[in-house]
Amino acid sequence: MTTFREAVVNDPAGTLLALDFDGTLAHIVDDPTQAYAHERSVAALGRLGPVLGQVAIITGRPVEQALELGGFVGFAGLDRLIILGQYGAERWNAGDGAPAPIERPVAIARLLERLPGWLAERGGDNVRLEDKGLAVAIHTRGLDPDLLAKLAGPLSELAAELDLAVEPGRQVIELRVAGVDKGSALKALVDEMNAQHVIFAGDDLGDVPAFDAVDELRRSGLDGLLICSASSEQDALVSRADVVLNGPDEIAAWLEELADEF
């Protein structure tokens, strides 16, 4: 029987390799502005880019941040890279130049106005707010370990009031525009390139819809491989993955091994 790896080696052009950014390509750090992509992973992607049908990054980050932290622009071998940012709401193809400016929806503008006072009333005045244009991330890393759980219910109510979606993650809750997720983003790419083999690697709850999408695609006959970048913080993907790796270092090693096949 042909293994998944052999199928990819026999048909690289029919393969889509899609990866999450934070916790998968980049180590988790306290300050989201300092979460740089793992150099070895970027180098391996540069070797895989010219060989595989498509390499893509599907992230909760805005495209602009993923580009800054990933160092992908102009990197050898990544001249066909696609980045789907903000869970698929933004798309950037290498060669597009600078990403298009984001138009902030009214609901996000209202949220940004309300959040400082709202958080102060609930003991959350020290949280780190990340304004992503189509979302606001409320980060509690380094703060009271119970704070996120305390804020979760009230934040859901606030999101409902503003007609925004709630996206929980690793010591973060995002309120974001609804209507897209990593699953629909991944499936659209699979359709677009008529992929026969799809690899998706992720670490967190925002990646669950992409795992669901690969499972669904497999039921319809596509060849899929799910990789979990495991951590002590989140185990939701462990039992669902075909390959469990210990965080971004092992992800880098796995990508290097795949690149060595060609």
Ligand X SMILES: O=P(O)(O)OC[C@H]1O[C@H](O[C@H]2O[C@H](CO)[C@@H](O)[C@H](O)[C@H]2O)[C@H](O)[C@@H](O)[C@@H]1O
Give the footprint of ligand X on this chain (CB under 6 A): 20-23, 28-30, 32, 35, 59-61, 130, 132, 137, 139, 141, 169-172, 174, 204, 206
Tell me how far apart the alpha carbons of residues 180 and 31 are, in angstroms, rounded to a whole number: 26
DSSP character at residue 229: E
Nearest CB to ligand X, comparing residues 29 and 160: 29
Shortest Cβ 171–ligand X spacing (Å)? 4
Shortest Cβ 61–ligand X spacing (Å)? 5
Q: In the bound complex, which residue of the shown chain has the CB atom lying closest to ligand X?
A: 60
| Cβ atoms 4, 197 nearer than 8 A | yes
Tell me how far apart the alpha carbons of residues 227 and 209 are, in angstroms, rounded to a whole number: 14
CB-count burial class (<10 Å; 0-12, 13-18, 19+) for 162: middle
Q: What amino acid occupies position 194? A: N
Nearest CB to ligand X, comparing residues 12 and 23: 23
Nearest CB to ligand X, comparing residues 31 and 242: 31
Backbone angles phi, psi at 217, to 5 degrees: -65, -35
Shortest Cβ 6–ligand X spacing (Å)? 30
Nearest CB to ligand X, comparing residues 12 and 60: 60
Q: Which residues pair with 91 in a beta bridge?
A: 84
Shortest Cβ 30–ligand X spacing (Å)? 6
